[in-house]
């Protein structure tokens, strides 16, 4: 029973996914054809990786809306380098590094200048996006070398490799968040930064590194996304920040930090990632996808708020009025 | 003027109030005392309409009030107002705006008469016994000034019943005197005051009658003269307390902490020098704002000193951040446990291990079983009342949260423990338990620095008392030479006679 109570948020999304799967199995069994599932998987993995980064940032009590722009910069950088003949292993390494660097800029501004993260990442979101538009003049990266697609693997082995890498990464961070002191530090910082600081945690370092990690993960996501196509548009990753933040919130995390789990985020990504293709298969117009997404977010947040209210009526909490 | 009869209330099956009766006469200060969890807060919430009673009757001015339909707005109409320990003012609005917010009615688009607003604020402040400028920002006021604004607001709303919930918990003794003057002024105008406090000295100074709650029931109501302090404590706790403070039988050992000439202009701490020995409790007395907390923060690496030296066991140490302090064997349990102490959203176990995760980790991974065992040990040692160590710290009462904060630092096995107001807002029983833990720690050779605004606690617990005034230690007094008058006089730097008046 305790297990059920502690993972109620995760369980309810799992149920929603199962419900959606059931509807699909009855109304549109075509959804479960291997080819389609593979497409959904390949499209979802990059979002999942970016969402892991968003989870870290949100748990630490911050927000990163520049993830889509970092994603685009990394995509284009990887593509340009590959076209210029840089060896593929090096490209695979550089994309996350560029992401980490851009994330570190966010992190440094938030952590050491104490700027609000929503403002910092709004600024960098616009800056990177427009810098990219200016440099590429809107041109797509074309003429990628033959090995770039599927990152040198075959079309059959790439999804397996991508899934293993993503799953390994997710598992490592999942365990790390609860069992490594650094993970605890993220939760403590997001929940009560002052208490964390007094407990000897360097909260500025925590903030810096979560942003840097989120950037690196956005770079990796960009790589896995670019590998699916033969060319790279400079406006790639537009709206990615909304997708990943939505997944984190649907996954039961508190947008104010300190509460949530990576398992919830993963389920959130799966649910929201299934939604678009599912609607297509069920014959619902694609224009409804966003509306359904919004409804899911509202339901998730609403349920959470109702539950929180039940808890807080038993534990009254007064915040001090003085600043 | 207010009579509550047989009030009952349950939360999710837990009976918080099992039939409490209470009455208040005009011009009376009626103290409501009881341990945390005795039902005081619930009773207040029912009277103010914040929480709905399951059963019972409430009369205001001999007129029955429908408890099932009592809302905060209706309670205000009835003339009931609450003053909380931490005033809920808008820090970026002026005093007159804060007062006007609840008092002025009318459309959102009406024209504001600023002069009338300011005049009324000044008048209400005067009636509450204060004379500060209504154009000041609420955030710039001291804690008691903010409380006076709340009182002025209550007077302006025509409140005839004022509930005060721990109004003095964050005040220094001098500020308390000032608040008492205001309360007495209100009493003379026929206002009934329900006064809730853990500080029995205040209750016996101020109250006309005392009602004791225990476990959701009224134990007794008596005029002030008819009960003694010991009786009240006994009724609150439901057991005999042998002595309020544990007997001390420890001979202090070698010097553990030696602070020399510590100065920080930004923190307002100037040339502070003192030592603490193993097995000794050094009490740090002084007014709020005298630099006690800032001194603790300097020692713990939360602020940087301009100059000065810290020696631990005779060795000079450099402390630039809390992690250095922890490594040097220091621990600091801060004052405001909700803001700085426990992480409310984390389980008790994770809170306990937070400052010393290495102790419960193997190969860099936290071992859940060892973490729970650690927390379980402290739950028993400190008698933390919780259903389980995996329960979130936010579900605990104040006293138990304080014990969790204490457990976190004891888990680091510190040589030197700094406690900032360790029993503020904590009930009598938990207070005695925390004092017992402090005693056990010094017996094991720990050096303890205790910051406290409560003179009896300072006098009862300390081996020596360092009195701070205006950012520096103005005197260190031995336990044998310490009297309340002397400590207070040193803190105030005024003649003792005047200080105790």
Q: How much is the ipTM here?
A: 0.75
**What's the pLDDT at A313?**
44
Pairing of strands B447-451, B416-420: parallel
**What's the pLDDT at A308?**
67
Q: Which residues pair with B31 in a beta bridge?
A: B195, B210
Instruction: Give B429's pLDDT tier (boundaries 50, 70, 90).
Output: confident
**What's the pLDDT at A74?**
97
A195 vs B326: CB contact, 8 Å cut-off? no
DSSP state, residue B341: I
User: Average model confidence (pLDDT) for chain B?
Assistant: 85
Domain count, chain A: 1
**What's the pLDDT at B225?**
87
Instruction: State the smallest CA–CA distance between residue B469 and chain A in angstroms.
Output: 24
d(CA B45, CA B70): 11
Question: Helix or strand or coil: residue A190?
Answer: helix
d(CA B42, CA A89): 65
Question: Helix or strand or coil: residue B7?
Answer: strand
**What's the pLDDT at B495?**
40
Q: What is the pLDDT of residues A187-229, one digit of tens each?
A: 999 998 988 988 889 999 999 999 999 999 999 999 999 999 8
**Would you say B262 and B319 are in contact if contact means Cβ atoms under 8 Å apart?**
no
Residue A240 lies in a domain: yes
Which residues of chain A are within 8 Å of residue B395 when distances are taken between CB atoms? 311, 314-315
Instruction: State the smallest CA–CA distance between residue B242 and chain A in angstroms.
Output: 32
Residue B409 has pLDDT above 70, yes or no: yes
**What's the pLDDT at A319?**
39
CATH of the domain at A243: 1.10.3470
Mean pLDDT of B169-182: 80
Residue A107 lies in a domain: yes
**What's the pLDDT at A1?**
42
Mean pLDDT of B312-334: 92
Q: Which residues pair with B162 in a beta bridge?
A: B81, B193
Interfacial A residues in 161-180 facing B (CB < 8 Å): 175, 178-180
**What's the pLDDT at A153?**
87
d(CA B139, CA B88): 11
Residue A233 lies in a domain: yes
Mean pLDDT of B460-479: 91
Closest CA to A175 of A31, A308, A52, A51: A52
A318 vs B321: CB contact, 8 Å cut-off? no
B302 vs A197: CB contact, 8 Å cut-off? yes
Q: Taking chain A, what is the end-to-end CA distance rounded to the nearest angstrom?
A: 41
A309 contacts chain B (CB < 8 A): no
Instruction: State the smallest CA–CA distance between residue B376 and chain A in angstroms.
Output: 18
Which residues of chain B are within 8 Å of residue A318 when distances are taken between CB atoms? 84, 86, 88
B332 contacts chain A (CB < 8 A): yes
Instruction: Flag residues of chain A having pLDDT under 50.
Output: 1-2, 312-323
A255 contacts chain B (CB < 8 A): no
Residue A317 lies in a domain: no
Residue A86 lies in a domain: yes
Question: Helix or strand or coil: residue A301?
Answer: helix
Which residues of chain A are within 8 Å of residue B143 when distances are taken between CB atoms? 322
**What's the pLDDT at B383?**
85
- What percent of chain B lies above the pLDDT cut of 70? 93
Residue of A nearest to B328 (CA): A200
Q: What are phi and psi of B333, to 5 degrees?
A: -95, 110
Instruction: Give B101's pLDDT tier (boundaries 50, 70, 90).
Output: confident
Interfacial B residues in 56-85 facing A (CB < 8 Å): 84
Instruction: Give B248's pLDDT tier (boundaries 50, 70, 90).
Output: low
Which residues of chain A are within 8 Å of residue B397 when distances are taken between CB atoms? none
Residue A321 lies in a domain: no
B322 vs A198: CB contact, 8 Å cut-off? yes
Q: Name which of A180, A197, A315 is nearest B394 (Cβ-Cβ).
A: A315
B357 vs A323: CB contact, 8 Å cut-off? no
Residues 6+ apart with CB under 8 A from B441: B410, B417, B448
Residue B116 has pLDDT above 70, yes or no: yes
Q: Name which of B86, B138, B332 is nearest A198 (Cβ-Cβ).
A: B332
**What's the pLDDT at A301?**
83
Which residues of chain A are within 8 Å of residue B425 when distances are taken between CB atoms? none
Residue B499 has pLDDT above 60, yes or no: no
Q: Which residues pair with B315 in a beta bridge?
A: B312
B395 vs A179: CB contact, 8 Å cut-off? no
A314 vs B87: CB contact, 8 Å cut-off? no
B93 contacts chain A (CB < 8 A): no
All structural domains of chain B, each given as residue ranges with its CATH number in brackets, are 2-237 (3.40.50.300), 255-329+414-500 (3.40.50.300), 342-412 (no CATH)
Interfacial B residues in 276-315 facing A (CB < 8 Å): 300, 302
d(CA A100, CA A136): 22
Runs of H (alpha helix) within B217-320:
229-237, 292-299
**What's the pLDDT at B216?**
84
Residue position matching structure tokens 């993995």: A45
Size of interface A-B (CB pairs under 8 A): 108
Residue A185 lies in a domain: yes
Mean pLDDT of B148-168: 88
B302 vs A315: CB contact, 8 Å cut-off? no
Residue A56 lies in a domain: yes
Interfacial B residues in 198-237 facing A (CB < 8 Å): none
> Hey, what are A161's tokens?
């490799």
Instruction: Give B497's pLDDT tier (boundaries 50, 70, 90).
Output: very low
Residue of B nearest to A199 (CA): B355
Q: What are phi and psi of B312, to 5 degrees?
A: -115, 125
> Which of B345, B386, B408, B418 should one mutate to test binding to chain A, selecting the residue with the greatest count of A CBs within 10 A?
B345
Residue A13: give the domain boundaries: 2-311
Interfacial B residues in 348-377 facing A (CB < 8 Å): 350, 354-355, 357-358, 361, 364-366, 368
**What's the pLDDT at B86?**
74
Residue B252 has pLDDT above 90, yes or no: no
Beta strands in B281-347 (DSSP E): 281-286, 307-312, 315-317, 330-333
> Hey, what are B246's tokens?
């544990």
A181 vs B358: CB contact, 8 Å cut-off? yes
Environment class of A82 (CB within 10 Å of its CB; exposed 0-12, middle 13-18, buried 19+): buried
Mean pLDDT of B56-85: 88
Instruction: State the smallest CA–CA distance between residue A61 and chain B in angstroms.
Output: 13
Side by side, which strands form the sheet with B14-24? Answer: B14-24, B2-11, B55-60, B63-65
A7 contacts chain B (CB < 8 A): no
Q: Three-class SS string for B426-492?
A: CCHHHHHHHHHHHHHHHHCCCEEEEECCCHHHHHHHCCEEEEEECCEEEEEEEHHHCCHHHHHHHHH
Mean pLDDT of B26-51: 85
d(CA B198, CA A23): 60
């Amino acid at each position: 029973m305790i297990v059920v109570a502690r993972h109620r948020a995760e369980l309810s999304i799992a149920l929603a996914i199962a419900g959606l799967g059931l509807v699909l199995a009855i109304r549109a069994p075509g959804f479960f054809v291997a080819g389609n599932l593979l497409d959904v998987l390949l499209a979802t993995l990059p979002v999942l990786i970016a969402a892991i980064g968003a989870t870290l940032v949100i748990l630490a009590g911050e927000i990163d809306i520049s993830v889509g722009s970092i994603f685009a910069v990394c995509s284009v950088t990887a593509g340009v380098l590959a076209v210029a003949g840089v060896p593929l292993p090096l490209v695979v390494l550089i994309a996350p590094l560029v992401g980490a660097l851009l994330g570190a800029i966010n992190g440094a501004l938030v952590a050491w200048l104490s700027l609000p993260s929503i403002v910092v990442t709004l600024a960098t979101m616009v800056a990177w996006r427009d810098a990219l538009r200016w440099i590429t003049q809107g041109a797509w990266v074309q003429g990628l070398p033959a090995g770039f697609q599927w990152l040198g693997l075959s079309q059959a082995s790439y999804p397996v490799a991508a899934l293993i890498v993503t799953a390994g990464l997710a598992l490592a961070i999942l365990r790390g968040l609860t069992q490594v002191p650094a993970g605890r530090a993220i939760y403590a910082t997001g929940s009560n930064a002052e208490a964390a600081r007094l407990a000897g945690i360097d909260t500025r370092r925590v903030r810096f590194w979560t942003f840097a990690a989120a950037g690196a993960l956005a770079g990796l996501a960009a790589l896995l996304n670019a590998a699916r196509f033969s060319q790279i548009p400079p406006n790639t990753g537009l709206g990615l920040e909304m997708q990943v933040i939505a997944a984190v919130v649907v996954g039961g995390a508190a947008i104010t930090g300190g509460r949530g789990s990576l398992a919830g985020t993963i389920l959130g990504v799966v649910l929201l990632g299934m939604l678009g293709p599912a609607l297509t298969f069920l014959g619902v117009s694609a224009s409804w996808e966003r509306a359904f997404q919004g409804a899911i977010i509202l339901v998730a947040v609403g349920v959470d708020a109702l539950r929180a209210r039940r808890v807080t009526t038993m534990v009254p909490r007064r915040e001090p009025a003085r600043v | 003027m207010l009579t509550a009869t047989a009030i009952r209330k349950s939360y999710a099956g837990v009976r918080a109030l099992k039939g409490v009766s209470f009455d208040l006469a005009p011009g009376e200060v009626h103290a409501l005392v009881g341990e945390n969890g005795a039902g005081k807060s619930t009773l207040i919430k029912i009277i103010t309409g914040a929480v709905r009673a399951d059963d019972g009757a409430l009369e205001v001015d001999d007129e029955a009030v429908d408890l099932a339909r009592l809302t905060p707005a209706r309670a205000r109409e009835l003339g009931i107002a609450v003053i909380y320990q931490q005033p809920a003012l808008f820090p970026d609005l002026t005093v007159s705006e804060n007062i006007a917010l609840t008092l002025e009615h009318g459309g959102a688009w009406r024209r504001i008469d600023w002069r009338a607003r300011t005049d009324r604020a000044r008048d209400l402040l005067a009636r509450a016994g204060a004379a500060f400028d209504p154009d000041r920002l609420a955030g710039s006021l001291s804690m008691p000034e903010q409380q006076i604004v709340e009182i002025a607001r209550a007077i302006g709303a025509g409140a005839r019943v004022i509930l005060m919930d721990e109004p003095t918990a964050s005040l220094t003794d001098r500020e308390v005197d000032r608040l008492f003057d205001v309360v007495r002024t209100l009493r003379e105008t026929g206002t009934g005051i329900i006064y809730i406090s853990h500080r029995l000295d205040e209750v016996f100074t101020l109250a006309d009658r005392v009602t004791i709650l225990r476990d959701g029931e009224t134990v007794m109501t008596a005029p002030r003269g008819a009960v003694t302090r010991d009786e009240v404590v006994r009724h609150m706790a439901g057991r005999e307390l042998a002595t309020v403070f544990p007997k001390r039988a420890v001979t202090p050992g070698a010097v553990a902490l030696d602070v020399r000439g510590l100065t920080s202009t930004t923190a307002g701490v100037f040339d502070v020098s003192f030592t603490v020995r193993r097995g000794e409790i050094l009490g740090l007395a002084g007014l709020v704002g005298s630099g006690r907390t800032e001194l603790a923060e300097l020692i713990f690496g939360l602020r940087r000193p301009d100059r000065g030296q810290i020696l631990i066991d005779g060795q000079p140490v450099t402390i630039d951040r809390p992690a250095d302090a922890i490594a040097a064997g220091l621990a600091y349990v801060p004052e405001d446990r909700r803001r700085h102490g426990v992480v409310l959203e984390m389980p008790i176990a994770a809170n306990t291990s937070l400052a010393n995760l290495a102790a419960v980790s193997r190969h860099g991974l936290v071992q859940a079983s060892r973490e729970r065992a650690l927390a379980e040990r402290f739950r028993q040692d400190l008698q933390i009342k919780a259903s389980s160590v995996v329960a979130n710290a936010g579900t605990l009462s104040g006293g138990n949260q304080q014990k969790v904060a204490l457990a976190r630092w004891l888990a680091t096995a510190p040589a030197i423990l700094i406690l900032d107001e360790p029993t503020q807002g904590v009930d009598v029983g938990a207070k005695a338990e925390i004092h017992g833990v402090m005693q056990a720690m010094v017996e094991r050779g720990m050096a303890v620095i205790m910051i406290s605004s409560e003179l009896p606690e300072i006098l009862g617990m300390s081996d020596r008392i360092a009195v701070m005034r205006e950012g520096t230690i103005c005197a260190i007094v031995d336990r044998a030479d310490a009297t309340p008058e002397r400590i207070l006089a040193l803190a105030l730097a005024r003649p003792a006679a005047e200080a105790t008046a």
